[in-house]
Amino acid sequence: MRKWKRNPQLLLTLVCLFFFLGCNDIEKQKALTEAEQAKEQMAKLQEALEKTQSERDNFKSEAAKLSDLLQENKAKLAKEIQIREGLQSLFNDINVSRDELKKQVTQLTESRNNLQQQVENLTHSRDELRHKVEELNKMRGDLQKRVDELVGFWMTALTDAKNSQVKAQELTDQVQRHVIDLTMLNERIEMLQLSFMQLKKRLEQLKQTSVISM
């Protein structure tokens, strides 16, 4: 029975023989005609079935290809998503770095402005000290001239027998006072010169720091 289901043409042939043996000529002819038609239809159905099976196989092949393509596209999409996330993270890091750089530039600009102001202030102080040193040098020259004059007067008083001892002592005391004043003035000038050199050194350091920060 299973063999007949697998081969419908054999089953059809047996049915036709059964009708052929038990029927008259007209019925036999009719049965043969119907059998022939059934055979043709069966052949068409078989051809259609084979075509359908071929198309089904093609569809299965196309479906497999589409499935592979879908998996490939999924993998590409996952990779693109990963790349996009990496780029987004990199972009965020760049934004953070840019903000940090802006902050550092602002701080450096403020530091440079502060250093520039300090340089200007120290330059002004240096000019004032230089002016004071020049004035003190002038005063020292005047005092030195006065001391020289007093020393001359003192020497003249000592060598001049006509001058009294009191006059000589007064001149001596006056000379000593001027010498003390001159000594104090020299010490003050030395202190100012030391401050001027320290200020000059500090100014050079600030200039170098300002150049480096620029």
pLDDT digits 0-9 by tens, 132-146: 778 877 887 887 787
The band of 5, judged by pLDDT with boundaries at 50, 70 and 90, is very low
Side-chain-side CA neighbours of 61 within 13 Å: the count stands at 6
CA distances from 213 to 44, 108, 115 (A): 95, 7, 10
Contact by Cβ (8 Å): 199, 129 = yes
CA distance 64 to 176: 121
pLDDT digits 0-9 by tens, 7-51: 555 555 555 555 555 545 677 677 777 778 777 888 888 888 888
pLDDT digits 0-9 by tens, 108-117: 888 778 877 8
Interval 62-89 mean pLDDT: 85
Report how many domains make up the chain: 1
Residue 6 has a pLDDT of 46
Write down the pTM of the prediction: 0.38
CA distance 14 to 195: 135
The band of 4, judged by pLDDT with boundaries at 50, 70 and 90, is very low
CB count within 10 Å of CB 202 equals: 15
H or E element in which residue 175 lies? helix 165-213
Residue numbers of the domain that contains 204: 2-213
